[in-house]
C-alpha cells in the first residue's frame, strides 16, 4: 500500500506546498504516496466556529481547544494504526533514523499547532508524539509538517531517481557527507581534487570517507560522540 499522509491544520491551503513539485510531486502523480488535509475548524461546534481559547492560569496568546482537536483527530484515525505526530518545539528533535522508520510504515497523521500550542490533555489522551524540527520557534506547525513529509517522501522506494544516491548521505552512518565537485575541471583557478578524476574507485571511496570524518569532527562533534556512545552502550 502506498504511503498515506493526513495533515490536521487550520490552513489546508498550505498543502501540498512544495511537495507538489519535483520528485515528491511526480511520485504523488505516480500514486507512490498521497496527502490529504483535515480542516480542524470543521470540528468546532459553536456558531463562530471557535478553535482556541485563553490559557488557563493566564498569560499571552491562545491555546487550541482539546475537544475540537480531539474530534478532528478521531475523524481520521479510527482503526488507523498510523503514528500520530504533533509538530512542537518541545518535541524530540527529528532525526534521519526516525525519518527512516516512518518511511517504512503505512503513513503518518500530523497535527499542526498554532497560537501558543495545544491543550496538554489532548496530547496525552490521543497519544500524540511531539516532534521538533529544530531549536527555534515557528509561528505554526505547517512548515514543520512539510519538512517532515519531505524527508520521508524522498526516501520512499522508487521516489529518488537513483536509489543508491541515499547511501552515503549526511547522517547515514552517523557522518556528514563528503564534499561534491563537478565540471569544469578548473573553475576560478581551483581544480577538482586530483583523486576524484584518477579513476581509482577504492582510493576515491577512502578519500570520501576521510573527508566525511574530518568534516563531521569539525562541524558536528556531537554526531561522533553519539556514535561512540551508541557503540559502547
Ligand atoms: N508556545 C510554544 C510555541 C508555539 S509556536 C512554545 O514555546 O513551545 C506555534 C506552533 O508552531 C506549535 O504549536 C507547533 O505546532 C509549531 N512549531 C513551532 N516551532 C516548531 C518547531 N521547532 N518544530 C515543530 N513545530 C514547531
For the segment 23-35, what is each residue's pLDDT rounded down to a tens digit? 999 999 999 999 9
Measured from the CB, is residue 136 less than 6 Å from ligand 1? yes
Q: What is the DSSP letter of 219?
A: H
- Closest-CA residue, ligand 1 atom 22, reads 89
Measured from the CB, is residue 94 less than 6 Å from ligand 1? no
Measured from the CB, is residue 9 less than 6 Å from ligand 1? no
Measured from the CB, is residue 65 less than 6 Å from ligand 1? no
Measured from the CB, is residue 219 less than 6 Å from ligand 1? no
Residue 20 alpha carbon to ligand 1 centre in Å: 24
- Closest-CA residue, ligand 1 atom 26, reads 88
Instruction: Kindly list the averaged pLDDT for each block of 10 residues, start to end, along the chain of length 233.
Output: 96 98 97 98 98 98 98 91 97 97 97 97 98 98 98 94 68 93 98 98 98 97 91 66
Q: CA geometry: angle at 148 spanning 212 and 40, to 5°?
A: 170
Residue 159 alpha carbon to ligand 1 centre in Å: 29
Q: What is the pLDDT of residue 101?
A: 97
pTM listed for this prediction: 0.95
Tell which residue, 125, 98, 128, has the closest CA to residue 113: 128
Q: CA geometry: angle at 58 spanning 55 and 64, to 5°?
A: 10
Residue 140 alpha carbon to ligand 1 centre in Å: 6
**C-beta separation of 150 from 35 below 8 A:** no
Measured distance CA(15)–CA(77) in Å, rounded = 20
Q: What is the mean pLDDT of the chain?
A: 95
Question: What is the grid cell recorded at 90?
Answer: 518541545
Task: Give the count of beta carbons closer than 10 Å to the beta carbon of residue 111.
Answer: 29
Amino acid at each position: 500500500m502506498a504511503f498515506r499522509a493526513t495533515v490536521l491544520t487550520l490552513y489546508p491551503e498550505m498543502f501540498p506546498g512544495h511537495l507538489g513539485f519535483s520528485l515528491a510531486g511526480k511520485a504523488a502523480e505516480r500514486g507512490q504516496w498521497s496527502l490529504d488535509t483535515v480542516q480542524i475548524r470543521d470540528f468546532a461546534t459553536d456558531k463562530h466556529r471557535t478553535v482556541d481559547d485563553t490559557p488557563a492560569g493566564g498569560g499571552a496568546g491562545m491555546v487550541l481547544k482539546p475537544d475540537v482537536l480531539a474530534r478532528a483527530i478521531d475523524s481520521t484515525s479510527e482503526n488507523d494504526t498510523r503514528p500520530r505526530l504533533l509538530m512542537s518545539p518541545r518535541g524530540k528533535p527529528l532525526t534521519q533514523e526516525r525519518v527512516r522508520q516512518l518511511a517504512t510504515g503505512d503513513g503518518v497523521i500530523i497535527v499542526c499547532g498554532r497560537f501558543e500550542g495545544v491543550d496538554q490533555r489532548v496530547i496525552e489522551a490521543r497519544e500524540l508524539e511531539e516532534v521538533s524540527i529544530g531549536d527555534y520557534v515557528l509561528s505554526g506547525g505547517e512548515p514543520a509538517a512539510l519538512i517532515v513529509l519531505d524527508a520521508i517522501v524522498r526516501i520512499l522506494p522508487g521516489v529518488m531517481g537513483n536509489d543508491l544516491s541515499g547511501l552515503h548521505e549526511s547522517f547515514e552512518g552517523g557522518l556528514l557527507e563528503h564534499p561534491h565537485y563537478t565540471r569544469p575541471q578548473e573553475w576560478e583557478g581551483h581544480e577538482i581534487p586530483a583523486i576524484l578524476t584518477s579513476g581509482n574507485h577504492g582510493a576515491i571511496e577512502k578519500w570520501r570517507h576521510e573527508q566525511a570524518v574530518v568534516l563531521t569532527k569539525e562541524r558536528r562533534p556531537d554526531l561522533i560522540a553519539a556514535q561512540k556512545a551508541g557503540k559502547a552502550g
